[in-house]
Amino acid sequence: MRIESRVAVRFQDATASGRLDRLSHRHFHSDEASTARVSLKSRKLEEVVIAIGGNIGDRVRNFDTALRMMRSSGIQIKKHACLYETAPMHLLDQPLFLNSAVTATTSLDPHELLVALKEIERKLGRSQGSVKYGPRPIDLDIIFYGNLELSSENLRVPHPMFSGRPFVLAPLLDLLGPEVEDSRHWSLVHQVRRHWNDIGGEGCVKREGMKKVLPVGGKLLDWQERTYVMGVLNVTPDSFSDGGKFFTADKAVKQVQEMIEQGADFIDVGAQSTRPNAERLTTEEELRRIVPVLEGLKSTPDRSRVVLSVDTFDSNVARAAVELGADLINDVSGGSLDPKMLGTVAELGVPCVLMHMRGDPCTMLSEANTSYSDLPRDVARELAASIEQAEVAGVPAWKIIADPGFGFSKTADQNVELLARLDTFRSGLTQARFGVGSIPVLAGISRKAFLGQIVGCSRAEDRDNATIAAATTAILKGANVIRAHNVKAVRDGAMVADSIRKVLAS
């Protein structure tokens, strides 16, 4: 982060001796600093906010490594802001930065926390003599430590420079919810909101050379700039739309190449049918179907142009898929059908799609699983809980795409309502916190049965016109990624919808 901490911490000396008495304290509230050094076991956990930044080396990998090292240093991360790519300040001739922030709990006292963070910076290649405002592989700054106000020779909390930096304030706001009373875990909440509004709020993001990005497949996708299209490839004998068509590896690879030529941004490969009452495959059978396809795709021309997603709710299949080159895991259960899935995704370091579904494909359309008091808000609240579980498991929010689950645990009429009120779904995610309400939303409405009921088409292949209409509606209501069987048709519809959306936003 380009906040210059007033620190001259001799962390190498401190960590080498295992003692912190070389850190000189001027004051620690009204208490002596030594009284804060009690046994870690007897200390209560404090909630802290840590800003993260960096602009040299593999920026995303550095962020991932820093988060893992924080967890192993007694800093338990709970929530993540969005990920921002930002222009440098002051020294302009340097690479773009990545910036974010996290909330975490720790029993480390403030100076011990500072030492731990400086040690992580050192291990990731940051030197003590870094140029002020200059390039750095990683920068970790304590912004808040509970409600503590601290000023010592080496550390000031809250961080004295957080209020004037858009690339700091935007991630801080992501960590907040719309209700102040829900944000008592760290200090100066009102100040964060006031400073954010003073610099122009959300409008300052583009003005200040900032953009929210999704790191996937070696790319940083600016998912607010345009709509992305996810081509669907089912290597199944029984999927509702194209089951059996691409069941052999050769046919599947050929279809992928066609979708790439038609303008697909993602390719989503699935071997497990998720139509109502579909039989759950064994891990071995799912792998038997999908591995030859993934192997064949390695040599597909233009493979690097697309993000390769694998549609599975089996953690073992997810692991094998990533080892074979998959960039993204698409779990229709939101991590609920395999208790190892979220931890596996975190370990693999790939992004994921978390979809809303109650029950499983055999029970999802039961009366109990299709009963809602306020459909889009209920779906948002339940999916936000899945996102929170993923974050605690180690998946940053900036690596999550939210899917409200059209056709899953919703009746035909409920699917229409969800589409019409997709903007309410997003605002429902915001109730969890602003950052969750800002993550990409995927709409999987391609050729769905509810569209066929509206237009009177029993054959899934005849629903492409209805799909374009639904996709356009979804985009204008806030969707960022559209799943498509007919990539060319949906791509064209998305381009028109994007043009309309930009006019409406101007």
The residues that are catalytic are 448, 483
pLDDT value of position 179: 67
Burial 278-306 (b: 16+ CB within 10 A, else e): beebeeeebbebbbbbbebbeebeebeeb
Instruction: Please tell me whether residue 285 adopts helix, strand or coil conformation.
Output: helix
Residue 153 has pLDDT above 70, yes or no: yes
Residue 440 has pLDDT above 60, yes or no: yes
Residues 183, 219: Cα–Cα separation, whole Å = 33
| Cα 12 to Cα 116, 122, 314, distances in angstroms | 10, 9, 44
pLDDT value of position 163: 76
- 492-501 pLDDT, tens digit per residue, is 999 999 999 9
Instruction: Please tell me whether residue 464 adopts helix, strand or coil conformation.
Output: helix
pLDDT confidence bin for 487, thresholds 50/70/90 = very high
pLDDT value of position 450: 97
SS (HEC) of 205-241: HHHCCEEECEEECCEEECCCCCCEEEEEEECCCCCCC
Residue 449 has pLDDT above 80, yes or no: yes
Nearest CA-CA partner of 310 in 374, 232, 395: 232
- 362-408 pLDDT, tens digit per residue, is 999 999 999 999 999 999 999 999 999 999 999 999 999 999 999 99
Q: Domain 218-505 is in which class?
A: alpha beta
Query: Any idea which residue has 């109650």 for tokens?
Result: 358
Q: What is the mean pLDDT of the chain?
A: 87
Is 46-209 assigned to CATH 3.30.70.560?
A: yes
pTM score: 0.88
Q: Which residues contact 159 (CB under 8 A, 6 or more apart)?
A: 3, 5, 51, 141, 142, 143, 144
* Continuous segment of H or E residues that includes residue 455: helix 449-455
In the chain, where does the domain assigned CATH 3.20.20.20 lie?
218-505
Residues 157, 7: Cα–Cα separation, whole Å = 12
pLDDT value of position 245: 55
- Could you tell me what percent of the chain has a pLDDT over 70? 87
Token output for 463: 């629903």
Residue 30 has pLDDT above 60, yes or no: no
For residues 445 and 469, the answer to whether their CB atoms sit within 8 Å is: no
pLDDT value of position 272: 92
Residue 421 has pLDDT above 70, yes or no: yes
| Cα 485 to Cα 134, 240, 241, 463, 480, distances in angstroms | 47, 11, 8, 10, 17
Nearest CA-CA partner of 307 in 440, 465, 478, 498: 440
pLDDT value of position 188: 61
Residue 194 has pLDDT above 90, yes or no: no
In the chain, where does the domain assigned CATH 3.30.70.560 lie?
46-209
Give the chain's radius of gyration (CA, Å). Answer: 24
pLDDT confidence bin for 205, thresholds 50/70/90 = confident
pLDDT value of position 462: 95
- 228-278 pLDDT, tens digit per residue, is 999 999 998 754 445 445 557 888 899 999 999 999 999 999 999 888 888
Would you report the helix, strand and coil content of the chain in percent, each value rounded to 5?
40, 15, 40
* Continuous segment of H or E residues that includes residue 169: helix 166-174
Residues 310, 317: Cα–Cα separation, whole Å = 9
For residues 132 and 125, the answer to whether their CB atoms sit within 8 Å is: no
Burial 339-354 (b: 16+ CB within 10 A, else e): eebbbbbbbbbbbbbb
pLDDT value of position 306: 96
Per-residue pLDDT, averaged over 31-55, amounts to 69
Residue 35 has pLDDT above 50, yes or no: no
455 or 201, which is more confident: 455
Per-residue pLDDT, averaged over 147-164, amounts to 86
Q: Catalogue the E-assigned strands of 63-108.
A: 75-80, 84-86, 97-106
pLDDT value of position 37: 42
